[in-house]
Amino acid sequence: MLKSTLKASILFVLLAVTAYLAFYYAPIERTMGIIQKIFYLHVSSALSSFVAFSVCFYANLRYVFTRQAKSDWLGVSAAEVGLAFIFVVLITGPIWAHPVWGIWWTWSPRLTLTFVLGLLYVSYLLLRSMIEEPDKRALFSAVFGIFAFLDVPLVYFSIRWWRDQHPTPVIMGGPGSGLEPRMRVSYLLMWGALTGLLILLMNARYKLEALRASVEELRREAEVQ
């Protein structure tokens, strides 16, 4: 208990420091102005959600081959936390887009991909809630999770080819792109802090799922007796 409180406090301080850096240390962007500050949260959350969904895919594969309940717990934890981060992306995106592009939403490839990604994992969680039997739930949702993850590159390629009109990536986008050094430091730190948050949340969710599984098992034993 003390240990987790300590971890959470450290993370809180880290998040506060990165927020300070993003607002005061990193310079204000020339054309977009202050609204560009949302970039630090928006892009870092997107990257963190991809990390979470990759963990979910790994856990799904692991479950299919090893059948350990632990992998199932990891899968559901990663999917839920990843979805939380995707919601942050989908909320901060329009807030950023409205003053800059003049619209809340556009069906550009990256936005469509994020949206579909969110829907895929909402379906994953819904499916879990619809299957009663724990082993079956774990196995079927793992197979669906694998299918969903394999779909992501296909969605990406199809929309990229369909409407290749989005702005070229600013980060890792080739020559001429790139962040101002102070922006880069703030951005990387923010991503680090959010990844810390991701791990903390996933860990808490994993423990909750383990507890839930043991409660379920106890209840079943009580019913048998």
Partner 1 sequence: MALLSNTAVLLGKELRTEFRSRELLTTTVVFVLLIFMIFSITFHPTTTESQQFGPGLLWVAFLFAASLMLQPCFLREQANDTLSALRLSVSDPFAIFFAKLTANTFFLLLTELLMLPFFAGFFNVRVFAVLPQLIVVFFLGSLGIAIPGTAFSAICAQARMRELMLPLLLLPVLTPILIATTEVTAALLQPEPSMNFAGLAIITGFDVVFLTALWLFGEYLLEE
Binding site for partner 1 (CB under 8 A): 64, 112, 116, 119-120, 123, 126-127, 130-132, 136, 139-140, 143-144, 146-148, 150-151, 154-155, 157-159, 161-162
Smallest gap from Cβ 161 to partner 1, in A, equals 5
Smallest gap from Cβ 1 to partner 1, in A, equals 37
CA atoms within 13 A on the CB side of 112: 18
Smallest gap from Cβ 157 to partner 1, in A, equals 6
Shortest CA distance to 209 belongs to which of 83, 71, 44, 103? 71
Q: Write phi, then psi, for 33 (nearest 5 degrees).
A: 75, -150
Smallest gap from Cβ 199 to partner 1, in A, equals 27
Residue whose tokens read 């619209």: 103
Per-residue tokens: 60 = 């799904």
Q: Which CB atom, from 36 or from 71, has the smaller least distance to partner 1?
A: 71
Smallest gap from Cβ 112 to partner 1, in A, equals 8
- Alpha-carbon distance 167 to 86, whole Å? 21
Shortest CA distance to 120 belongs to which of 108, 131, 130, 112? 112
Q: Which CB atom, from 120 or from 202, has the smaller least distance to partner 1?
A: 120
Smallest gap from Cβ 26 to partner 1, in A, equals 36
Q: Which CB atom, from 40 or from 109, has the smaller least distance to partner 1?
A: 109
Q: Which CB atom, from 41 or from 142, has the smaller least distance to partner 1?
A: 142
Q: Which CB atom, from 95 or from 125, has the smaller least distance to partner 1?
A: 125
Cβ-contact 125, 83 below 8 angstroms: yes
Question: Tell me, what amino acid is at 47?
Answer: L
Per-residue tokens: 84 = 């939380």
Dihedral angle sign, alpha carbons of residues 84, 87, 93, 95: negative
Q: Which CB atom, from 90 or from 193, has the smaller least distance to partner 1?
A: 90
